[in-house]
Amino acid sequence: MEQIIKRLELELGIKKYQVENTIKLIDEGNTIPFIARYRKEATGNLDDEILRKFADRLNYLKNLENRKQEVISHIEELGKLTNEIKSSIENAQMLSEVEDIYRPYKPKKRTKATIARECGLEKFAQIIMKQDKTTGSIDDIAKSFVNKEMGVEDVQAAISGACDIICEDISDNAKFRKNIRRMSYRTGKITTKSVNPEENLQYKMYSDFTDDITKIPSYRMLAINRGEKENALKVKYEVDEEKILDYLEKNIISNISIFTEILKGTIKEAYKKYIKPSVEREIFSDKFEEASEKAIQVFGINMKNLLMQAPIKGKTVMGFDPAYRTGCKIAVIDETGKVLDTATIYPTEPQNDIEGASEKLIEMIDKNNVDMIAIGNGTASRESEKFVSDVIKSIDRKVYYTIVSESGASVYSASELATKEYPDINVSIRGAISIARRLQDPLAEFVKIDPKAIGVGQYQHDVNQKRLDLALTGVVEAVVNSVGVDLNTATPSLLSYVSGVNKTISTNIVKYREENGKFKSRKELLNVPKLGKAAFVQCAGFLKVPESDNILDNTMVHPESYEAATKLITSIGIDFKTMEKSSISKFALKLDNIDIEKVSQELNVGVPTIKDIIIELKKPGRDPRDEMPQVILKSDILKFEDIKIGMELTGTVRNVTQFGAFVDIGIKGDGLVHKSQISDKYVRDPMDELSVGQIVNVKVIDIDNDRKKVSLSMKGLN
């Protein structure tokens, strides 16, 4: 464990006490959100992101240590463990190094080398490797190893068998593999050729492509990997083979002897037949994993920004799910998310019933006092946008619309969860409900959908799916717990992401609420079946109860800190027992003037906790999403034909990739801001500058009329 602690210290750049305390907290079963929020003193204020990396690395390092012990035990059982081998295993930094050391001792299928050993040719192989014969003939030495009964028919069979043994020994040598892997990585070039350039236009740039393996961007690595899987690309890996063979010869051939030429041939065979393919697979696998991790990281950041988009509160919203043949589905929801009205209209091709659709839309807007219309961004989106824009211009009521991502809406509509929520509503209408609720409360709606179905990623179907699931679940969990959850309105989907709450408990919370009415306090959570004291400790601080008489129940102050919070309030001259919610603003200034260090000592509570208590007391029930950029609300439409080079527009960032960002400027298809056009300064990673949901100013710099593509620039505009 001491070695693991040192590794985590160095890798994460944190102190020993932080590592030790965090390991202890994780081993005790505390969740990452709980540790990040309520154990800041113990961790030295490590944030959620670092703690997730910490937990990930801790798991890897524990597995590495376990594997080391397994390998040491197995080699010891074989009677071949030396101090040198044991030391090499114990000092290995990666699983691949441990496996390289273990390779010669790993149980193998019968190979040419094992057959040669069974034929008694190991001694001959040792003679060749000794290289102390400078005169005479190899054949003469080989004759003494010919044994027809053992299967060695002649001199050539003896030489061939000895070389098979040497070949395997070279291939299994951990030192050789490690250095060849390093050399292959440093000098390697990846080259691609298109199988059918005219058909595989999406891989046009890879039709005759070469790049250093050390420099190739991860998104290109993923594109090449997909192209190879689809049989659209032929991929090769080129290295400096002469340099590698020269390295092997220098380390194996000790002097000129009668065995020199045979050894050179055997070295070449060992490299070409065994080491080269294996090392190349490992390098490709490592690069793919590296690219996958980057893609997962990009997906995670985009996902977080999407979930953190500001909710639209207190408004009646119409969800508009566009379509052609099957008609556009409409659902109206009130400010609480309750469905008020539904319909299907046909303003698009082939029906083109503009008149009938307009009458129905106006009727629903007037009847339900609609404030905003959320239009899905899928098929027929822009035609629907034009229709909606024309309709709201013709009415007296001020109604705005916006475009909402509908990724995953169809997945949700047909899900078991949607069936439970809306058993009497047609599957097709559920998509419109989801679109409306995404504008009203993006977080509460998106948590109902498999994160992979939300299109803010890059090559998400190509990466390691288990890693992707873990990472995205972690992102959703982090966002839900940073925002907090209203205990009396949250769905089971939302509750299941709260620290310490699993699907069973989340279902029980809702069932308890339905049977007993709204929760009146956090303490009441202890009455929920399966929610014991341990789960209460983990979840209580993240579950808010606006209806509670105790103002602290509507903050993210943990119940374990209520006593300290009460004393702090009393210390500034407020009677906590008679304090009303409306009086909070009156003593906000007093809270700003508190001597935090002094109060921390007096209450025997850490400075980070005191700071958090003050923040929460100043704004009970605060929603951090309210501070995020609001969506762009529109009342008119922009056609592709209206776009001109040089035009300056305002848009919403829909997706951020490693090569740039896609911005919704109100036309069919998002415009691309390449990373070279994001800023006047050099941009290494677009993630450093942009986020999903961000409102940006852009200028049109190129228009591809054939493909209906627009290139944008942000230089000098933001």
What secondary structure letter does DSSP report for 33? Answer: H
Check residue 518 and give its pLDDT: 92
Q: Say yes or no: domain 640-713 is CATH 2.40.50.140.
A: yes
Q: Contact, 623 vs 483, CB < 8 A?
A: yes
> Residue 69 pLDDT > 70, yes or no?
yes
DSSP sequence for 354-402? HHHHHHHHHHHHHHHT--EEEEESSTTHHHHHHHHHHHHHTSSS--EEE
Q: What is the pTM of this model?
A: 0.78
Q: What share of the chain is helix, strand, coil (3-state, %, to 5)?
A: 55, 10, 35
> Residue 13 pLDDT > 80, yes or no?
yes
> Residue 486 pLDDT > 70, yes or no?
yes
Per-position b or e across 299-332, b if 16+ CB within 10 A of its CB: bbbbbbbbbbbbbbeebbbbbbbbbeeebbbbbb
Check residue 635 and give its pLDDT: 61
Check residue 126 and give its pLDDT: 94
Domain with CATH 1.10.150.310 in the chain: 495-627
Check residue 638 and give its pLDDT: 66
Tokens of 152: 């060695």
Strand partners, 663: 653, 671
> Residue 656 pLDDT > 60, yes or no?
yes
> Residue 520 pLDDT > 80, yes or no?
yes
Under the banding of pLDDT at 50, 70 and 90, the label for residue 455 is low
Check residue 593 and give its pLDDT: 78
Choosing among 1.10.10.650, 3.30.70.120, 3.40.50.2020, 1.10.238.10, the CATH entry for 2-105 is: 1.10.10.650
| CATH homologous superfamily for the domain 317-440 | YqgF/RNase H-like domain (3.30.420.140)
Mean pLDDT of 495-514: 94
pLDDT in tens, 556-582: 999 999 999 988 888 877 766 666 554
Under the banding of pLDDT at 50, 70 and 90, the label for residue 583 is low
Check residue 530 and give its pLDDT: 95
pLDDT in tens, 320-365: 999 999 999 999 999 888 999 999 999 999 999 999 999 999 999 9
Choosing among 1.10.150.80, 1.10.3500.10, 3.30.70.20, 1.10.760.10, the CATH entry for 112-296 is: 1.10.3500.10
> Residue 585 pLDDT > 70, yes or no?
no
Check residue 199 and give its pLDDT: 77
pLDDT in tens, 170-201: 999 989 999 999 999 998 999 999 888 777 77
Q: Contact, 269 vs 167, CB < 8 A?
A: yes
Cα 84 to Cα 113: distance, rounded to the nearest angstrom: 25
pLDDT in tens, 143-153: 999 998 888 89
Q: Contact, 595 vs 614, CB < 8 A?
A: no
Check residue 200 and give its pLDDT: 73
> Residue 301 pLDDT > 80, yes or no?
yes
pLDDT in tens, 116-134: 999 999 999 999 999 988 8
Cα 286 to Cα 584: distance, rounded to the nearest angstrom: 55
> Residue 433 pLDDT > 90, yes or no?
yes
Strand partners, 337: none
Q: Contact, 326 vs 441, CB < 8 A?
A: no
Under the banding of pLDDT at 50, 70 and 90, the label for residue 664 is confident
Check residue 642 and give its pLDDT: 79
List phi, psi (to 5°) of 642.
Answer: -75, -20
Cα 11 to Cα 3: distance, rounded to the nearest angstrom: 12
DSSP sequence for 538-571? HHGGGEE-TT-SSGGGGSS--GGGHHHHHHHHHH
**What's the distance, CA 114 to chain centroid?**
45
> Residue 417 pLDDT > 80, yes or no?
yes
Cα 81 to Cα 75: distance, rounded to the nearest angstrom: 5
Across the chain, what does the average pLDDT equal? 89
Q: Which of 338, 332, 337, 322 is nearest to 366 (CA)?
A: 332
3-state secondary structure of 11: helix
Domain with CATH 1.10.3500.10 in the chain: 112-296
Q: Contact, 572 vs 590, CB < 8 A?
A: yes
Check residue 341 and give its pLDDT: 96
Check residue 637 and give its pLDDT: 61
Q: Say yes or no: domain 495-627 is CATH 3.40.390.30.
A: no
Cα 372 to Cα 329: distance, rounded to the nearest angstrom: 16
| Of 300 and 34, the one with more pLDDT | 34
